[in-house]
Amino acid sequence: MTETTVDQLDTEETPQSYTSESAPSRTSAIEPAAATGRRKQAIARVRIAPGSGNWTINGRPLEAYFPNKVHQQLVSSPLVDLELSESYDIVARIDGGGVSGQAGALRLGIARALNAADTENNRPALKKAGYLTRDARVTERKKAGLKKARKAPQYSKR
């Protein structure tokens, strides 16, 4: 049997340069952060802190504030995509708008907070998924002479 020394093991197993396949995987830094998200008339102020995945929205848990499973999935999608759902505690204050607008505002706020916590690792995945883009669609205002924003009174020829 041949004996190998510690120096021979270190040089054989440790590569001197990395390729995309052999590069060590980078994990996201778990740091506290805060951000604001907006959607329609809703505004969400979000704070994330390292923790065990507890949600507090206007003093209530996620399931109580958003009983609809679709809204729960929408809100937690940035955390799920980054595989950080059990890494952060989330505290949010939401004002204005309806349930759907509030869920969209909270999702944008969480995505922006995750981006602020670790831009180098989180931003590419969040940007690719479209979570950092503000949805600028808002309700169109009512115009004078019309019944609603675009609905005109019925035309009568005689």
| Per-residue pLDDT reduced to its tens digit, 56-89 | 999 999 999 999 999 999 999 999 999 998 999 9
Model's pTM, two decimal places?
0.78
14-18, 57-61, 145-149: which range is least confident on average?
A: 14-18
Give dist(CA 63, CA 85) in Å, integer.
15
Model confidence over 22-53: pLDDT tens digits? 444 556 678 899 999 999 999 999 999 999 99
The domain made up of 28-129 is a member of CATH 3.40.228.10: no
Instruction: Quote the mean pLDDT of the chain.
Output: 87
The structural domains of the chain, with segments of one domain joined by +, span 28-129
When pLDDT is averaged across residues 117-146 and rounded to a whole number, the result is 94
Report which of 68, 78, 65, 71 is spatially closest to residue 35, judged by C-alpha positions: 78
Distances (CA, A) of 128 to 39, 69, 71, 117: 20, 24, 21, 18
So what's the pLDDT on residue 119?
87
Query: CB-based burial of residue 28 (10 Å sphere; 0-12 exposed, 13-18 middle, 19+ buried)?
Result: middle
Cα–Cα distance between 31 and 116 in angstroms, integer? Answer: 9
**CB 63, CB 79: distance < 8 Å:** no
Give yes or no for a contact between 39 and 97, defined as CB atoms under 8 angstroms apart.
yes
Cα–Cα separations (whole angstroms), residue 146 to 153, 155, 158: 6, 12, 20
